[in-house]
Chains A and B, each alone.
Chain A
Amino acid sequence: MTRTEFIPIAETIFMIEVSLVVLMLVSAYLFKGYFVIKRLVRKRTKENWTAFWHEAERDTSLLTDDKIKNMQKRIVWVLMLMKQSKEKIQSESLFYNKIRKEVLLPTGKKLIRKHNYLKKYYAIECFYYQFDPEDEHYLLKAISHPVLLVSLNAARVSFKHGSTKLLEKVISHLAHWKWFQQDAIASMILEERPMLTEALLNCLEKEKSHSVRTLCYRLLLLLPSKDEVIRELEADLYSNFIDLRVVALDYLIKVKDISRLRNFMYDDDWVIRARTAHALGLLLDKESIHLLEEALFDPEWWVRTYSAEALLCFGQIGLAILQQQSPKPYSGAYDAAREALSRHRHTQIRKRRRHKP
């Protein structure tokens, strides 16, 4: 390639580069202008909607058919405004009733059939405020949606509005979720549906699946205690599935069946032994002190640690037992006692510091 050939090529490349950059710059500003206009329009719409909302709250005659149709199209704004008026929506005012029945319910029914997850999510949010029992099957379908945002919220709405039958189905479905999803559900339950016991007890009567039974116990533990008799509890306490055993044991702790509880200090599984030791300490059952003292010699670290912690709950008697431990014949018991005593000392120091003026 000669110099005369090179210069025009280089010039062409330079021109292409410059025009590309200029083109990008122009298109960027065009895009930007489009986004800015879009944002301004949305902002103005939002302001108009908010103003209209507040006016219509006072005068419901403003809610004409056209306005309602418009609201159905802009459901996100309606949902946001509903969220902002959280306290007011509880009231039986004509305005909110109209919004619930004529805007949210029809839009929810329409959007729940869509494939897009955001539309489904909006539908569920609509159902949160107004729900028609005819749509239970949609809700059940939404619970098994792979997108967590949809499924978690569908479960939340089911707990709020669902019938006992739906709840039983929901629980069976939720049992196969990850634990953290179940935790999220558990935290919703008390908020939305404190009287869930009936559905849970029905599930425990019928269901054989260990995961469903585990979830039922977990949820039952969260609800206000009525000490319901569960026929299959004994079988669950000796089940082959450790998760089920643990929650069944927790239920035993909740109903304070101490005499049955003590037997589990001799269980083969260390998780059960540790859990029992912890519970015996919390329940302050003095007859169990010798069991806890024995458990200091358990081969498993967690059992020894929890037993030492449980002994501390008994005050001076427990302290004396822990202080008596020596490195011989078994250093495990001594270490557990020493660690528990050190933790106890720290707590005492902190308490004293807090009480200082």
Chain B
Amino acid sequence: MIQALIYADYMIIGYFLIMAFGYTVLLCASFPEVIRKFEEVAYGNVADLMHEETVLPVSIIIPAYNEEDRILNAVYSALNSDYANIQIIISCDGSRDNTLPKLIKTFNLYETPIMLKNNIKTAEVKRYFASTDYPNIKVIDKVNGQVADAVNAGLNICRTSLYMTLDADTVMKPNAVSRLVFTYLSNPDCILVGGAVYVLNGNKVSHGKLLTEPRVPHGYVTGFQCNEYLSSFLFGRAGWSYFGGALCYSGAFTLFDTRTVIAAGGHDKGNFSHDAEITIKLHQYMRDQHRPYKISYNPSAIAWTEVPGSLKAFWRQRGTWQRGLLCSFWEHKQLGLFYRYGIVGCVSFPFYVLFEVFGPVVEFIAYMTLLIGCFYGLIGYPVLLFIGIAWAYFVFIMMASILLNLITFNIYRRKMDILRMFLFAVINLFGFRQFMVLSYVRGTVQYFWNRLRGRKL
């Protein structure tokens, strides 16, 4: 038993060293990438030079299920966009609350017939609305499916070559779409552009606009997530984007090439993490088709989204995400098995599986060995040293992303906010991280349990 524990410890140390190396490389890559993007927009936005004729039309698809409190802000934020050529498609996914009546009343919607032949199969579309006040707003009333099903329904009526997904609880900056489109136009063979998403909780929003300067939320749960989003979007995705191997962009705010997504079969309606799923699917589809492609990221295109405000909601959300991720990775497992999938197959897919999907499981095992070690009285100074180093490393990574924010886009400007983010980074490892790991492990166990019993995943 003791021998097994020692072996497990060695494996965990090895695992940690490889992960730390990977993250350090990503961090190093993200700095020049983020600073380059920052310099692109900070001293006179080149996107402003775009002529009206080259402003390609973009559809913004907003899936909404029981979002009566938030939907208007999302729609208004799309309407507030400074991009000249926008169509808004709201896909009402069988909401049971007043989402649809509220939309009808606010935007003066009228029912209109539509000829629709489904490119992608979705749940039945019951009604279709257009707005008398805003000719660029269309609303679909459909039978409830998943978020991805609602996006697919929007995709079926999308008539533009580019579309963007925007969650109903998300608001974006007015220049966000033009920055995404600029990135799309300035990268050859681009099929997807991701934007940066930050935490909306704690900020006042009216008519799709942030009334206050962005601030770190007061609650612990939201505060921790604030740090997590910052590091994930500012260094994780930027780093992967630098190498061209990013596997997940937020479904809350991403621009897609319509034809490519339709050709790849649309969003997977059976998957909770449809955003990660579609990115992986597009990688695989384009590589299988031997077509050149680029999946890009622009940290200067910014949106804010609501995150779970309580531990219970957070627990549920992370469990669901984990199951979704596992579904996606299992479905596209061949991506990691063949050399022909390039950097995605050789590096980013295995890295994601090892350190993002199964990372929490390994971390959970580490905590378990620690407990068992305590029980057998095996915890000595070397173990304490390792824990200290691990904690110091994670704090360093968090600090680095906070500082990257500080020198570039400076989302959170106030000194109090920066101090609180430092504080959250330091105390993250004392309780909250373990809770998060547990929620992921629960999701993993649920996934495998359902799989073994032949249940819906």
Contacts and interface: CB of A to CB of B under 8 A. Distances in A.
A3 B381 contact: yes
A148 B185 contact: yes
Interface stretch (B3-11, B97-105, B106-114, B315-323): B106-114
B385 A13 contact: yes
Interface stretch (B39-47, B168-176, B427-435, B439-447): B39-47
Nearest to A189: B53
A346 B115 contact: no
B372 interface: no
B56 A180 contact: yes
Contacts of A238: none
Interface string B34-72: 000010001110101111011010000000000000000
Contact of A35 (B42, B110, B112): B42
A9 B51 CA distance: 61
A79 B44 CA distance: 11
Given A35-B407, A180-B259, A77 B44 contact: yes
Interface stretch (A19-27, A243-251, A282-290, A315-323): A19-27
A36 B399 CA distance: 21
B396 interface: yes
B377 interface: no
A357 interface: no
A125 B50 CA distance: 9
A13 B186 contact: no
Interface residues of A, number: 61
A347 interface: yes
B53 A191 contact: yes
A76 B388 contact: no
A148 B186 contact: yes
A2 interface: yes
Contacts of A77: 44
A2 B46 CA distance: 61
Interface string A1-40: 1110110011001101100110011011101100100110
Nearest to B381: A6
A305 B115 contact: yes
A153 interface: yes
Given A24-B400, A146-B188, A342-B113, A2 B44 contact: no
In this complex, the member of A10, A29, A180 whose beta carbon has the largest number of chain B beta carbons within 10 angstroms is A180
B406 interface: yes
Nearest to A82: B49
A1 B388 CA distance: 15
A314 interface: no
A42 B43 contact: yes
A56 interface: no
B381 A147 contact: no
B54 A118 contact: no
A184 interface: yes
Contact of A76 (B44, B53, B111): B44
Q: How large is the interface on B (under 10, 10 to 19, 20 to 34, 35 or more residues)?
A: 35 or more
B124 to A, nearest CB: 15
B272 to A, nearest CB: 31
Interface in B67-94: none
A147 B188 contact: yes
B304 interface: no
Given A10-B388, A153-B54, A38 B113 contact: no
A347 B54 contact: no
A149 B187 CA distance: 8
Contacts of A353: 110
A121 B187 CA distance: 13
A32 B259 contact: no
A205 B113 CA distance: 43
Contact of B184 (A46, A148, A346): A148
B406 A180 contact: no
A267 B50 CA distance: 44
In this complex, the member of B111, B117, B185, B388 whose beta carbon has the largest number of chain A beta carbons within 10 angstroms is B185
Contact of B113 (A3, A46, A343): A343
Nearest to B383: A1
A25 B46 contact: no
17 contacts: A1-B380, A6-B384, A13-B385, A31-B407, A35-B38, A35-B407, A39-B42, A42-B44, A76-B44, A76-B46, A80-B44, A80-B49, A149-B186, A152-B54, A180-B56, A347-B112, A353-B110
Given A46-B44, A156-B54, 14 more contacts: A1-B382, A6-B381, A9-B385, A13-B388, A24-B400, A27-B403, A28-B406, A29-B406, A42-B43, A118-B186, A153-B51, A153-B54, A187-B53, A191-B53
The 3 A-B residue pairs with the shortest CB-CB distance, nearest first, are A180-B161, A146-B188, A343-B113
